[in-house]
């Protein structure tokens, strides 16, 4: 019963307050409470109006500088050379001279194949040549003898000519023997497999003791050149003219960027672009190369590519965060001498994540607002600080705060955490 009475009193009070607010009835004590509240005419400002405090904002000056003209694209890292190492002879694998993922130089030993059969073929070719050389030496002696007899008419000219032909045949046979030796030596050398290029080995496909053949499609291992390395990407055909002009001027700088489009992985250059535009996509293929001395780029990796095709000299720039968009186009808030802001329409040229080139609307050294747009409007009073002043006003971190921040980022392990007193 008491609960019902309490609910009734609360509902009655709420109804009386509402009726008093909309003017249906007048409740004396509610009117006194309302009159005791400060009204719109109270306050410390002139005429009884409350003066709004200035809005704290950050502002920077419009400055002139050179701005590089860049083109962004997404590319695929590709090795400049990739070789599948295959055996050119058949045999049992006796030895491997590398491990998976090893960096090798051209000429380094990769594998040895059992070569006794090929050594025997080489020795046979050498012996055959020695036999034919002995016959050739004897035939030359007979030729000299028959030639001398024919000159003194003690022998026939025909016999001398026949012996001369025999010497020529034996000389040709010795040359054939030498070719057979060279062939046998080449096959014997194939039993020792060496790296054809500088690069990094992948995962081997055979183990020691297996029989390998030249017909094995997988080969022994794949060697991929890592330094330098290339990147292939497509550009819209509208960018072809600017790229062509930049290539005609000389070196065209290229950057491989992280996913944030800010952190630079590698610096390189444009090597070549294709000789025709792909009619299905309206793009042209471009190839860049990077030194990749730290192996930051990997074949098959997707990277953001930025190339620099021109430089805008001495243009007005502001941070991109200062440029806002409205119904009439882009605008900025200019801080005037009386610490109020003026909404100013501007014309923007090139723009990226950091800087915007202003072609008109503001002058050099004018201060433009970069933060706090939600609380300001045209004519609003502001308290403007530069980023440098704002940083100087920030309280310095204590050792405890630095440790907590490093813990949140994961820079400290459990063993690095020190218990601070207090």
Asked which of 56-65, 119-128, 164-173, 406-415 is least confident by mean pLDDT, the reply is 406-415
| Contact assessment for residue 174 and residue 181, using Cβ atoms and an 8 Å cutoff | no
Q: Where are the domains of the chain?
A: 1-33, 56-64+314-393, 70-80+224-313, 87-214
pLDDT at 283: 94
Asked which of 25-29, 39-43, 82-86 is least confident by mean pLDDT, the reply is 39-43
Residue 25 exposed, middle or buried by CB count within 10 Å (0-12, 13-18, 19+): exposed
At 319-348, the pLDDT tens digits run 999 999 989 899 999 999 999 999 999 999
Q: Give the orientation angle of helix 116-151 with respect to helix 157-190, to 10 degrees.
A: 160
| Contact assessment for residue 266 and residue 253, using Cβ atoms and an 8 Å cutoff | no
Q: Does domain 56-64+314-393 have CATH number 2.40.420.20?
A: yes
What are the CA-CA distances from residue 162 to residues 144, 156, 159, 199, 403 (Å)? 12, 10, 5, 60, 103
At 133-149, the pLDDT tens digits run 999 999 999 888 888 88
The CATH number given to 70-80+224-313 is: 2.40.30.170
At 3-32, the pLDDT tens digits run 666 766 777 777 666 666 555 555 555 444
**What pTM does this model have?**
0.64
Q: Is 57 helix (H, G, I), strand (E, B) or coil?
A: strand
Most confident of 46-55, 136-145, 175-184, 399-408: 175-184
Round to whole Å and give the CA distance between 295 and 46. 69
pLDDT at position 416 over 70: no
pLDDT at position 264 over 90: yes
Q: Could you tell me what percentage of the chain is helix, strand and coil, using 3-state DSSP and rounding each to the nearest 5? A: 35, 30, 35
Q: Give the orientation angle of helix 28-36 with respect to helix 2-22, to 10 degrees.
A: 60
């Amino acid at each position: 019963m008491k609960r019902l009475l309490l609910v009734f009193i609360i509902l009655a009070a709420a109804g009386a307050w509402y009726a008093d607010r909309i003017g249906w009835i007048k409740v004396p004590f509610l009117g006194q409470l309302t009159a005791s509240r400060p009204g719109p005419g109270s306050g410390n400002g002139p005429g009884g109006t409350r003066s709004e405090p200035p809005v704290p904002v950050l502002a920077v000056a419009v400055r002139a500088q050179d701005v590089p003209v860049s083109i962004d694209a997404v590319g695929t890292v590709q090795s400049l050379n990739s070789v599948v190492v295959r055996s050119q002879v058949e045999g049992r694998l006796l030895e491997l001279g590398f491990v998976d993922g090893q960096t090798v130089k051209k000429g380094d030993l990769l594998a040895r194949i059992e070569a006794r059969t090929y050594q025997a073929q080489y020795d046979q070719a050498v012996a055959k040549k020695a036999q034919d050389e002995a016959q050739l030496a004897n035939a030359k002696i007979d030729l000299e003898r028959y030639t001398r007899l024919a000159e003194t008419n003690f022998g026939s000219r025909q016999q001398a000519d026949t012996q001369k032909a025999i010497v020529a045949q034996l000389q040709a046979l010795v040359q054939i023997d030498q070719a057979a030796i060279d062939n046998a030596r080449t096959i014997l050398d194939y039993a020792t497999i060496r790296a054809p290029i500088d690069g990094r080995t992948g995962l081997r496909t055979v183990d020691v003791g297996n029989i390998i053949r030249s017909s094995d499609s997988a080969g022994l291992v794949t060697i991929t050149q890592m330094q330098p390395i290339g990147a292939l990407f497509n550009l819209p055909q509208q960018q072809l003219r600017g790229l062509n002009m930049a290539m005609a001027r000389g070196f065209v700088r290229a950057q491989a960027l992280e996913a944030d489009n800010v952190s630079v992985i590698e610096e390189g250059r444009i090597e070549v672009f294709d000789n025709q535009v792909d009619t299905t996509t309206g793009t042209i293929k471009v190839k860049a190369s990077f030194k990749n001395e730290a192996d930051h780029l990997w074949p098959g990796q997707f990277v953001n590519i930025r190339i620099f095709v021109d430089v805008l000299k001495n243009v007005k720039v502001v941070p991109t965060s200062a440029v806002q968009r409205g119904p009439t186009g882009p605008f900025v808030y200019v801080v005037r001498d009386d610490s109020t802001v003026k909404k100013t329409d501007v014309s923007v040229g090139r723009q990226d994540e950091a800087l915007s080139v202003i072609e008109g609307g503001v002058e050099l050294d004018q201060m433009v607002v970069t933060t706090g747009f939600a609380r300001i409007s045209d004519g609003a009073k502001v308290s403007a600080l530069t980023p440098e002043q704002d940083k100087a006003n920030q309280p310095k971190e204590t050792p405890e705060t630095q440790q907590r921040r490093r813990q949140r980022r994961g820079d400290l392990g459990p063993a690095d955490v020190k218990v601070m007193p207090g």
